[in-house]
Copies of this chain bind each other. A is one copy, B any other.
């Protein structure tokens, strides 16, 4: 899939551990890190990323598994820090490539992976469910799962003990001193592991540019209280489906203010089902009603929970905003709480949804304005605290754009990590540690693998370039039949265009272009007509010039010369 070929130095004979971030360094998404010792290899997380605007037609972006494939005999397990798409979304693709690999994580993560894998139709998968505090051993690598706070239930940091030393991977985290499940991060374990000595730490850099401390989830509760006190009509809360603590807060407020709760959307209903079963989400009996029954309750007794906080066009909220939802219609007096902030790139669609909701007469509370959302990621003070607790010898900022990694690296130096021991890496950089040294020893395949339909990796630069050209000015096809024996053009050239011209005007333009082309073909010598390639080139040039002179556009031109 990648035209580069990477040659890595052979690993040393003495005990070593390699840490290879394959994704998440340089962008937020498709997180994946390989931890490899002399005889064993585990993968921490395997996420996906959603395509950006230039990746025309691509469904999702996953990681390049080449490094693992080349060492498949050493592969022991996939260890999952938490159940967000950018950490688990690639697992079904990974399991297709490496079917026998055990997948290890806490209960909600496993439930979410199972739900995803069903869509992909697998055989048996070996799931290993752990609890925070548990340890699992795969070959020479023993991993401890450590409770941490994040915007999904069951999130853990991992301490991977190897013969060379401990690799500490924070996963996505924040330090919430007043979380709504009353379980702050396991400071004691983290501090103990730090005391025992950590060779290398990898840590979440999402908010490394933000000074101060991320607000507690409890702040959202305060905002919800104010909103529920004021709202006279129905309340709709949109958040990420997997944000179980947020769902809990919305449910708690509904109960407190005498409202029933309806869940809208399949992914949300799935999560509510799992997390209630697993005990992460507590809903008192008699609280939940069906979305179809909402109409039979007075507006002030209803809360609807839904997804679409990122303005995703097919989500519950976006469809409500254009009155396209069969089961629920927004009416004036409804209060909509968008309990999230837009991920960079989603701003326009989020604002579009908000504007449409306003047009329907709803009141919209969005973003951090009303403190109706807090981040799930640690800001600078928490990153510094984590660094001071773990005190690693080496430090690798992960999970962030380059500018965030640089900033996180600076924080590490401030806490006493030697600046030459801070590795601001790109995806695919291979770090190697032994008793003697820790260094970047080379590079492996860390690029995007684009998934389009059933085709994994089969959408390369060339395909995207073509799609971009097509999207810009459309395509024109010209079919010319040539009598191969007599070397003369038969009949008129056939011109077909898609996405080039405004239809009511295109007939006339196409007639003119056809005439231009006919004249140009008449000037071609019999000799030249025998060379199909040169005829094609001639058609392309003539038509391209004519279209551009007429319209200043440059459609893709596909000449077909049929010899009959």
Contact = CB atoms under 8 A, between A and B. Distances in A.
Interface string A470-510: 11111101010100000000110010101111110100000
A56 B466 CA distance: 14
A406 B361 CA distance: 10
Interface residues of A, number: 67
A364 B474 CA distance: 39
A419 to B, nearest CB: 14
A474 B470 contact: yes
A14 B156 CA distance: 75
Contact of A403 (B355, B463, B490): B355
A520 interface: no
Interface stretch (A36-44, A69-77, A217-225, A343-351): A343-351
Contacts of A503: 460, 462-463
Interface in A50-106: 52-53, 56-57
Contacts of A26: 355
A452 interface: yes
Contacts of A551: 452-455, 458
A560 interface: yes
B351 A348 contact: no
Contact of A552 (B454, B462, B466, B499): B454
A452 B556 CA distance: 15
Contacts of A498: 466, 470, 475, 556, 558
A142 interface: no
Given A467-B470, A474-B466, A475-B470, A553 B455 contact: yes
Given A354-B403, A453-B552, A552-B453, A494 B562 contact: yes
Contact of A351 (B403, B455, B472): B403
A471 B58 CA distance: 10
Nearest to A505: B458
A499 B351 contact: no
Contact of A562 (B344, B356, B402, B562): B562
Instruction: Provide the main secondary structure of the chain A interface.
Output: mixed
A467 B459 contact: no
A358 interface: yes
Given A347-B344, A475-B475, A459 B502 contact: yes
A471 B560 contact: no
A564 interface: yes
A401 interface: yes
A560 B455 contact: no
How many copies, total? 2
Contacts of A477: 477, 558, 560
Given A52-B348, A560-B494, A474 B481 contact: no
A468 interface: yes
Nearest to A361: B406
A562 B502 contact: no
Interface in A263-289: none
A422 B466 CA distance: 50
Interface in A391-440: 401-403, 406
A494 B496 CA distance: 16
A137 interface: no
A401 B366 CA distance: 15
Contact of A455 (B454, B474, B481, B502): B502
A359 interface: yes
A53 B26 CA distance: 23
A550 B454 CA distance: 8
A480 B471 CA distance: 26
B467 A499 contact: yes
Given A345-B347, A403-B351, A505-B458, A471 B471 contact: yes
Contacts of A558: 477, 496, 498
Contacts of A355: 26, 401-403
A502 B348 contact: no
A116 B412 CA distance: 50
Nearest to A547: B453
Given A57-B499, A481-B564, 13 more contacts: A53-B348, A364-B403, A453-B551, A454-B550, A455-B551, A464-B499, A467-B470, A467-B472, A475-B498, A477-B558, A479-B560, A490-B564, A496-B558
24 contacts: A26-B355, A57-B553, A344-B351, A345-B347, A347-B347, A351-B401, A354-B403, A355-B402, A359-B402, A453-B473, A453-B551, A454-B550, A463-B499, A466-B474, A467-B473, A479-B479, A479-B560, A479-B562, A481-B562, A494-B562, A496-B558, A498-B556, A560-B560, A564-B564
Interface of A: 26, 52-53, 56-57, 209, 344-345, 347-348, 351, 354-356, 358-359, 364, 369, 401-403, 406, 452-455, 457-460, 462-464, 466-475, 477, 479, 481, 490-491, 494, 496, 498-503, 505, 548, 550-553, 556, 558, 560, 562, 564
Across the A-B interface, the 4 shortest Cβ-Cβ residue pairs = A453-B552, A471-B471, A466-B499, A470-B470
